Structure 1
Amino acid sequence: MGITTAWAISSHDDQLIEKLGPRIRPLVEAERDCPDARRRWRHWHRNPLPDYRTWWDPYGRSSAEEAENLDCFRELTACGEHVQKLYDGLSPDDDFHLVRDVWEETADTDVMFMSVQSKDYAIASLFHAIGPRRAALLPGWCGNFLLTSAQVREALPRVERALTFTAEEEAVARDQNWVGYDPDEESVLEGPLRVWRQAVGAGLGLCGVAVTIW
């Protein structure tokens, strides 16, 4: 069965960020603190993957070690079950919904990034393209975070180090990023940093959420 996923980074004033905090931060922390997630993170750092075009061997010739490395990475970068509740519903008696209460409440639609993918995950493509060392500089956990304007400003130098490249580095990253090349779609290598810089300039906080929407 196919899936459709979305990774969005939306901008909000600090008042809304603090209002969202009790709902979103515990879910992100639950994703980050999950022992299996931490194990997969460490595994990926020890075993970064080769060129993505070598992953899908129709003849099943991959070694057990290669298959384990890929499975760990796919599980790590798939949408997490805790943050997914923001889209599916937190509880039967809570009508909070990610689209209405977060994405549609963005302070400025120009200060927003969204990558919608069919049968794929934007975070997987981004993380593979930039590698473990750069991915570790990004706040939150695997694309999920909720930051005040002060925290966004404080994190900007790390985000810039993660997503700023020399010409040679950019060529390698673009070659290993398999999503975001539709003319109307902003690349995962460019959109997050653009949004971050704009949010700092506007004095806004940011909310990053990766979910399965279908």
Structure 2
Amino acid sequence: MISSHINAPLPNPQGERPGHDIMNTPRQPWFTQFWPWFLIILPSVVVVAAIATVYIAIKHSDELVIDTYYKEGLAINQQLSQNQQARQQAVVAKIYLNPSMDLRLQLTGEGLAQINHLQLRLQHPTTEALDQSVVLTRRDGEWFEGRLGQPLLGVNHLGAPSQSRWYLTLQPFHSEEYGNWRLKGEWDMSKKTLITLWAKGALEK
């Protein structure tokens, strides 16, 4: 009698079976809970960021300047000939830039008296759209003058700060008639408004 009394189940005052509350608790839909969305959003953000990065890299990639190494390799013989011709004629050019975007150039050398027009190409280091080509006309003796199409310093036509460093190429406008020579150099206009080009490179003054 004592053993059976001890092992008997305890009475439930409410008349319910054990576990009744757990079994009958209503389950919420998964989309109303926090953790499923947390686990979904994290990888989604990473994917969106990766796509945005690829898009920006493609759309705003730097353009190569015209005078790339590949093209230099293809035209190496011609360019060496042009440099050699400039050395033989002792061609030297001093280029001045004033705030009104006017260029003045003093040209000295042998066999240059018949040249009335020069072509000066200014190449932006990364953006081809900012490149300029200026024709300089002989005005008096050794002096040539020309005008830039857009400022090289300050703000350019794209609304961005202009690059102060430019690659220069100078040669006769009609090179087939007045000698196939050329001068090349690099000009940092934030430091100097005068540059001297000669057959072995460029000297900033």
TM-score range, shorter chain: under 0.3
Higher relative CO (Cα under 8 Å, sequence separation at least 6) belongs to 1
Q: Give the TM-score normalised by the residue count of structure 1.
A: 0.27
Q: Give the TM-score normalised by the residue count of structure 2.
A: 0.28
Task: Indicate the structure (1 or 2) with the bigger Cα radius of gyration.
Answer: 2
